[in-house]
Amino acid sequence: MRLAVKRTSPLLHGLPKSYSQLGNREIIRELIERVMQVIQIPLLKDNYGYLIVCPATNEAAVVDPSEGDPVLRQVEAQNVKLTSILNTHHHRDHTGGNPFLLERFNLRVYGHRNDQERIPGLTDPLGEGNEVAVGNLRGRVFFIPGHTKGHIAYLFENKLFCGDTLFVGGCGRLFEGTAEQMLASLSKLAQLPADTLVYCGHEYTQKNLEFALTLEQHNPSLNKKIEQVRALRAQGLSTVPSTIAEEKETNPFLRWDSPEIHKTLQRDSLITGTDPLTVFSKVRELKDHY
């Protein structure tokens, strides 16, 4: 079979050799070595951790290891060199595996500087705009408080690891932050490109979307997505990742401008104003009791 690669493809940008001097098979080999790998790891009851692998160096990082054994099994199965832990926040269901892994590997541990006394083994305190490296991969840090006061997300290429701030169809509870902070954090993530993949920390999607339907039952994108999600969950399959585009179409916590959500809340005399903070705060309150 003849292999063909468009010479103008943006994927070729930054290749170590002039691609005009490479054959198609060499180009494809170079591209494969540059493709970031993400391996989802089911943890505890409904948590997800993620192994981020740089194929060029075989180095890997784990995002939010709730427990150590499943991560170790994946590291061994993938035959990669684990070099770091990327924690999004301090909650134990996202950091519980840190001590186990630190006993077995020499690791850098990343997290927000507000969590220096709360993330086990933290070596590299981070803030907004900092960068983390996994082999040749580079990830940008976003400070997104609300769920906790030290919550961050990591963006590698078009892949967002956002812990418990943005879920598929939902957002995290306000344990340490305010509604204003969470709204600002979600607004920041909503500005990312539409094709950004959303890798969140829990499998909450079906219940999240069932709640969303109580607010916006005539949303065609929402009705289509919940059917897809129900089919996946009936087979025991993951509903993560989503995309920023899908979340803006279906997630009530990103749809504070939705006329139908406004109408639903006003019909039940739950709000008078329709500014984003008022709508978001009421939707969050309703979800807390759903």
Q: Looking at 91, 112, 151, 262, which residue is catalytic? A: 91
Q: Looking at 64, 90, 164, 262, which residue is catalytic? A: 164
Closest to 40 measured CA to CA, from 56, 58, 63, 67: 63
Q: Looking at 64, 90, 94, 151, which residue is catalytic? A: 94
Mean pLDDT across the stretch 166-182? 98
Split at pLDDT 50, 70, 90, the class of 243 is very high
Q: pLDDT digits over 14-34, tens only? A: 444 444 455 566 655 555 556
What percent of the chain shows pLDDT beyond 90?
86
Closest to 231 measured CA to CA, from 197, 206, 204, 199: 206
The pLDDT value recorded for residue 52 is 98
Domains and their CATH numbers in the chain: 32-288 (3.60.15.10)
Mean pLDDT across the stretch 245-270? 96
Compute the distance between CA of residue 98 and CA of residue 87 in angstroms, rounded to an integer.
9
Split at pLDDT 50, 70, 90, the class of 226 is very high
151 is catalytic: no
150 CA to centre of own chain: 16
Q: Looking at 89, 90, 112, 262, which residue is catalytic? A: 89
Residue 77 has pLDDT above 50, yes or no: yes
Beta strands, E only, the chain: 37-43, 47-54, 59-63, 81-86, 108-112, 124-126, 131-134, 137-143, 152-156, 159-163, 166-167, 170-171, 197-200, 242-243
Q: Looking at 90, 112, 151, 202, which residue is catalytic? A: 202
Residue 11 has pLDDT above 70, yes or no: no
Q: Looking at 93, 112, 115, 262, which residue is catalytic? A: 93
93 is catalytic: yes
The pLDDT value recorded for residue 180 is 98
The pLDDT value recorded for residue 35 is 81
For all residues of the chain together, what is the average pLDDT? 92
**Residue 168 contacts by C-beta under 8 Å, 6 or more apart in sequence?**
198, 200, 204, 205, 208, 239, 240, 241, 242, 246, 247, 251
Residue 260 has pLDDT above 90, yes or no: yes
Dihedral, CA of residue 132, residue 162, residue 277 and residue 173, to nearest 10: -130
Split at pLDDT 50, 70, 90, the class of 2 is very low
The CA-CA-CA angle for residues 7, 9, 15, to 5°, reads 80
The pLDDT value recorded for residue 270 is 87
Q: Looking at 64, 90, 115, 147, which residue is catalytic? A: 147
112 is catalytic: no
Token pair recorded at residue 74: 């994946």
The residue whose two tokens read 């990343």 is: 110
